[in-house]
Amino acid sequence: MSSLPTIAVLISGSGSNLQALIDATQTGKLRAKIIVVCSNRKAAYGLERAAKAGIPTRTFSLKQFKDQGKTRVDFDVYMAKTIQEEYNPDLIVLAGFMHIVSPEFLSFFPRQNIINLHPALPGQFDGAHAIERAYEAYKQGKIQHTGVMVHKVIADVDRGQVILERPIPIEDKDTLEDLENRIHSIEHEIIVEGAQKFLDEL
């Protein structure tokens, strides 16, 4: 049997999307092996989720770099170089990674094997606070639904080639919290499906 493709997952927070990936690798729904979980926040609960699953973790501190008089680009280069040289994953998944990676980071991965999960449809609410902005747009009668997508990462934020997208209805009775919960439950499915789809096309 051929060895499984490898994944590095980058996180910043609680890691619920990471957990979906871990669970899917354990059940065989995602035919891959997560070889490292990296975070830019040492307190990220997702690091504990990884440790419980026996997955190695790495923390990269931007503050440490800034305290040494180094730049955000220096940080990105160090992080990318470490991931590329020490792990050389087939796929990098940004799963709630709250750090916009620079072109310098991307240059270490010419195969364009970095994907991101974003809680909006292509071209709709790029960048931060996408769910809140979609909810507000619905209340103003501008949209009827929002969605979630998995896309390749390029220098243009949330503009890379779409691998998978799924529309999500917004209902009149929805609170912002209702919409967030619905989106997060779909995110847990689509991040697994998007990763598998990318790996199937390697």
Tokens 């990884």 label which residue?
50
Of 182, 43, 34, the C-alpha closest to 95 is 34
Reading the block at residue 91, the tokens are: 């796929």
Long-range contacts of 168-175, Cβ-Cβ distance < 8 Å, separation of 24 or more: 169/144, 169/145, 170/134, 170/135, 170/138, 170/143, 170/144, 170/145, 170/146, 174/135
- Could you list the active site residues? 118
